[in-house]
Amino acid sequence: MKNSFIALLVFVVVLTIKAQADEGMWLPSLVGKLNIQKMTSLGCKLTAEQIYSINHSSLKDAVVALDHGSCTAEIISADGLLLTNHHCGFGEIQAHSSVEHDYLRDGFWAMKREDELSNPGKTVTFLIRMEDVTDQVLKNVTADMDDQTRTAKVREAAAKIEKEAKGESGYETRVRSLFESNKYFLFVSQTFKDIRLVGTPPQSIGKFGGETDNWMWPRHTGDFSMFRVYCAPDGKPAEYSKQNVPFHPKYFLPISLKGIDKNDFTMVMGYPGTTTRYRTSNEVKYTMEVVNEVRIAAREVKLDIIKDYMATSQKARIQYASKFARSSNYYKYSIGQNKGLTALNIIGKKQDIEKDFLRWANETPERKAKYGSALDTINMAFTSRDEKIALEYSREALLRGAEIFAFAAKASSLDEALKGTDKDKIKSAVTELRGSLDEYFKDYDSSTDQKIVASLLKLYSQKVNSKYIPGFIAEIESKFRGDFNAYARKLFAKTIFADQARLESFLNKPSSKVLDKDMAFTAMRSMFETMNTISHDLSKTTSKLEKARRLFVAGLNEMNKDKSVYPDANSTMRLTYGTVDGYVPHDATYYSYFTTLKGYVEKGISGDVDFDFPQKLVDMYNAKDFGPYADKDGSIHTCFTSNNDITGGNSGSPVINGNGELVGIAFDGNWEAMSCDIAYEPDLQKCICVDIRFVLWTIDKFAGAGQLVNEMKLIR
């Protein structure tokens, strides 16, 4: 371990007044140096080597990144059985569903291996090792370099390290920056591509509470689904094939039936997505007033339209279930984050930190010269908002708004080929586009998308500076007298991208002339031209902002030499530790740390979109048919809370007790601490977990898929 890195790890990265030992998303390779003593004092009985090892099997070998880090999952059998959240498998469950086989509504269980369902595009990535390579990356970087030269030197060194580490191994290698590019780590991993759906409870269990309960506690949701990792007969990753076999992992997690009690040690390993706990007060203000407000405004419009369509039929509900879930999750998150940041006065707390930093930086000429202007530079980057508002609305109202424009963009490579003379390129582009049609149109309703186009383009035109209005939107005022509905009607009547048969006909005889006149395709081009303008204007401050952030973090490192730290999350493996407990959300209220099946039955409302329930579950509850999965109090515990530090990407992460046994699956955070990505709140922040015994009870007793439980190693 390099001394320089140990020095960095004594700086408080979290800009909060009150730090707790439980706080932190720690690099597993450093647990032995930084965390194991505190973990042991809280009840961890494992050694650092049992948690993370390069030479031996360890916990890290059972924890995987799902779909390159969008979620986390864990291996729970010697035959590659995988456990994650229901919402992490929601897209695959929806894709396999139909009116005849509604797996969203009814659930799915593969009673035999040959019944397991393949999922093209789904991946599972194992971490092989991580290594501090800061010295190698920064070897040729000097303090007086301009930022462009520095970036080039860093990329050159990183590419060399990645190439040498990869060798003939077949592994993926990637150098990632940490601590705002003050440190660099090499991550070596292996990705498997044949991932099959094994089982999922009905949505009335796996998504019980729906949008009403999302981000809330108490919860009673059985938020889990099961997959299996397959590989080639030689054990190496392979695309789907009938000849593939179940993967045999280096390690899989044993499962505890003993349950958990208040103050029990818990550890979460996973792939948290993004935190921004280094951000300054002005940056937090920007997040609240621009990023979140734009997201809320645009998604509210889109979600209302989708919800109306989903209510029309079972087919419509299945088609848009996954799209609605993806969009609504961070819509509600943004509302909660703004509320939390305000209630906890995070801007004020960060301003206090910044005052201390400036006072410290100005104490000596050397510090003032190096760090004195960092905060001013960061603040200057956020004085102008027009281009930033345009950026956020272009993401939410254009790129992530209606589907038709993003789909039209798929024809860009075909358009380029058609303008040339290479027939093979044209044929290849046609084949690629044609191959996506069935999957796209299966879950597409043009009338719904037409409404989204009209509503979001109108919103964009009202909210964005005229400099950043795409030409085709500006023309709606003159050609359609500002009637966005009329524009959308004509677009969908004329374009080839709203109807599969029309698009198939075009692909039989593709023409660049047709694309050049197509309203959806030309609108897409206009959007990207405008986004280039936005990017150009943003680039004027980007490089200065990145350097200022790097200096700000480096300065904080010097200012706080005696405090332990962790880097912001960036979809690399992290470990958090804490204990089981409830919390006080507001005055005169205490939330217990666990819920039971009794609460599930009490919440249930037959036929309700969020709280519908399977009658079989209620019957089993009334009969007390709990098998070996009841707690010592005689009830089925459904969910529990701990103070583990998590964020998006941790969904599906294993919750592990002090003996290294699986006791739950992390699936959510709590509403009162939605500020957590920016600032950890030790008194309020909770990790919401489904109790593993509820998971096993659902698999074995409710679904009758006991053969899956028989694969697992149960600790009684």
- Amino acid at residue number 122: K
Mean local confidence (pLDDT), 295-317: 98
Closest-CA residue to 31 (of 206, 267, 211, 252)? 267
pLDDT of residue 1: 38
Q: Is residue 16 predicted with pLDDT exceeding 50?
A: no
Which range has the worst mean pLDDT, 17-26, 45-54, 150-159?
A: 17-26
209-212, Cβ contacts within 8 angstroms, sequence gap of 24 or more = 209/603, 209/610, 209/611, 210/609, 210/610, 210/611, 211/328, 211/332, 211/610, 212/610, 212/611
Q: pLDDT per residue over 587-642, tens digit each?
A: 999 999 999 999 999 999 999 999 999 999 999 999 999 999 999 999 999 999 99
Structure tokens at 366: 């050397």
Q: Is residue 683 predicted with pLDDT exceeding 50?
A: yes
User: For residue 17, what pLDDT band results from cuts at 50, 70 and 90?
Assistant: very low
What CA–CA distances, in Å, run from 705 to 110, 230, 272, 710?
A: 8, 20, 31, 9
If you search the block for the tokens 């009684």, which residue do you land on?
716
pLDDT of residue 348: 97
pLDDT of residue 111: 97
If you search the block for the tokens 């009841």, which residue do you land on?
630
Measured at the alpha carbon of residue 66, what is the angle toward residues 247 and 322, in degrees to the nearest 5?
125
Which range has the worst mean pLDDT, 17-31, 379-393, 454-468, 570-584?
A: 17-31
CB-based contact 166:154 (threshold 8 Å): no
187 beta partners: 130, 174
CB-based contact 113:246 (threshold 8 Å): yes
Q: How far apart are CA 240 and CA 116, in angstroms?
A: 12
Q: pLDDT per residue over 486-495, tens digit each?
A: 999 999 999 9
Q: Is residue 126 predicted with pLDDT exceeding 80?
A: yes
Q: How far apart are CA 304 and CA 14, in angstroms?
A: 37
Closest-CA residue to 5 (of 696, 566, 454)? 566
Q: How far apart are CA 392 and CA 616, in angstroms?
A: 46
CB-based contact 198:89 (threshold 8 Å): no
Mean local confidence (pLDDT), 501-513: 96
Q: What are phi and psi of 380, to 5 degrees?
A: -60, -35
pLDDT of residue 563: 79
541 SS3 class: helix
User: For residue 421, what pLDDT band results from cuts at 50, 70 and 90?
Assistant: confident
pLDDT of residue 475: 94
Closest-CA residue to 513 (of 522, 502, 505)? 522
DSSP designation for 266: E
Q: Is residue 701 predicted with pLDDT exceeding 50?
A: yes
pLDDT of residue 541: 86
User: For residue 561, what pLDDT band results from cuts at 50, 70 and 90?
Assistant: confident
pLDDT of residue 457: 98
Say how far residue 484 (Cα) sits from the centre of its chain.
Answer: 34
Model pTM score: 0.93
Mean local confidence (pLDDT), 312-332: 96
642 beta partners: 580, 687
Runs of H (alpha helix) within 495-518? 500-508, 512-517
Structure tokens at 679: 């600032």
Which range has the worst mean pLDDT, 2-11, 283-292, 555-564?
A: 2-11
Q: Exposure of 654 by Cβ count < 10 A (0-12 exposed, 13-18 middle, 19+ buried)?
A: buried
Please give the full DSSP string across 346-373, using - where no structure is assigned: HHHHHHHHHHHHHHHHTTSHHHHHHHTT
Share of the chain above pLDDT 70, in %: 97
Q: Is residue 4 predicted with pLDDT exceeding 60?
A: no
CB-based contact 599:198 (threshold 8 Å): no
* β-pairing verdict for 654-656 and 265-270: antiparallel
User: For residue 19, what pLDDT band results from cuts at 50, 70 and 90?
Assistant: very low
Q: Is residue 9 predicted with pLDDT exceeding 70?
A: no
Q: Report the mean per-residue pLDDT for the chain.
A: 94
Q: pLDDT per residue over 348-363, tens digit each?
A: 999 999 999 999 999 9
Q: How far apart are CA 679 and CA 284, in angstroms?
A: 10
Mean local confidence (pLDDT), 187-211: 98
pLDDT of residue 373: 96
Q: Is residue 485 predicted with pLDDT exceeding 70?
A: yes
More confident residue, 7 or 403: 403
Please state, as a whole number, how many other Cβ atoms lie within 10 Å of the Cβ of residue 476.
Answer: 20
Q: pLDDT per residue over 179-191, tens digit each?
A: 999 999 999 999 9
Share of the chain above pLDDT 90, in %: 92
641 beta partners: 688
Q: pLDDT per residue over 226-269, tens digit each?
A: 999 999 999 999 999 999 999 999 999 999 999 999 999 999 99
By annotation, the residues acting in catalysis are 87, 223, 651
Q: Please tell me whether the peptide bond between 218 and the residue prior to it is cis, using omega within 30 degrees of 0.
A: yes
pLDDT of residue 557: 82
